[in-house]
Amino acid sequence: MPENHPTFMWVAVFAVLSALVNAAGIVAIVKYRSWAQKAKTYFMCFAAGVLISTPLMLALPQAITKNINAGFMAASGFLFMVFSNRFIRYRTGKKELAFGVVAAEGIGIHSFVDGVIYAVTFKVSILTGLLSAVGLVVHEFAEGVITYLVFMDAGIKKRTAVVYALCIASLTTPLGAFVAYPFIGALSDSGLGMMLGFMSGVLIYVSASHLLPEAIDEEKQHSLLALLGGVALAVFIVVSKFK
């Protein structure tokens, strides 16, 4: 059995799980619209808590240990997301952001990058991968809800909107993971540190610029507790690992 077989299994499990959770969000908004719209705020807040804690406490320090220049890559990852989302807004003429991207092409890019993050973080360590994956999987529910609503707002028929949302938001995440995994496996330790730094910047952007503003705009009772719950989970897992 190949040495990296367990790592691939973790990547595959969470990539597929993210697609299923995204699909669950689409099904929920179709069948239980009121509940799904209310629940997505809590999913976003919890995911934001996990995703802002993971790069700051674990992923970025690990990246810098592997390569001293990883901090520059983190800044590059953050700026890449800023400018790519600005470009997509300009191309589509949309001012509103659903996790920073509202058009079909943007949602697909965002979901594809999620899959790449799985491949990178699990390659570094199972702990880093798990923490990143928990936040990303949780936010997939809200992303599925929003993706479907984007297509509905565009005047697409319900059944067609479901198919489009599944293809563009759900399936692109495992696609990104499986496409990226062979290339990530070929990186040196120093190169992996640079890539992890870049993905740390992406994670910080996703949580700070995507999830939190969206959640604040639709603030619900106890949403702050959901955010703190996500932070607490990340802290607990990291502290338990290093005791």
How buried is 242 (Cβ within 10 angstroms: 0-12 exposed, 13-18 middle, 19+ buried)?
A: exposed
Q: Does the structure show a pLDDT above 90 at 34?
A: no
pTM of the model: 0.72
Residues contacting 138, CB < 8 A, separation 6+? 21, 43, 46, 47, 50, 230
Look up residue 196 and give its amino acid. Answer: L
Q: Is there a contact between 92 and 102 (Cβ–Cβ < 8 Å)?
A: yes
Query: Nearest-CA neighbor of 54 among 209, 211, 238, 177?
Result: 238
Instruction: Name the band, by pLDDT with cuts 50, 70 and 90, for residue 99.
Output: very low
Question: Residue 242 has what pLDDT?
Answer: 57
Give the model confidence (pLDDT) of 180-234 as tens digits.
998 887 888 899 899 999 988 988 888 888 777 766 666 666 678 888 888 888 8
Alpha-carbon distance 72 to 77, whole Å? 9
Question: Residue 205 has what pLDDT?
Answer: 86
Domain ranges of the chain: 5-214+221-241
Give the model confidence (pLDDT) of 43-72 as tens digits.
888 888 888 888 888 888 989 999 999 999
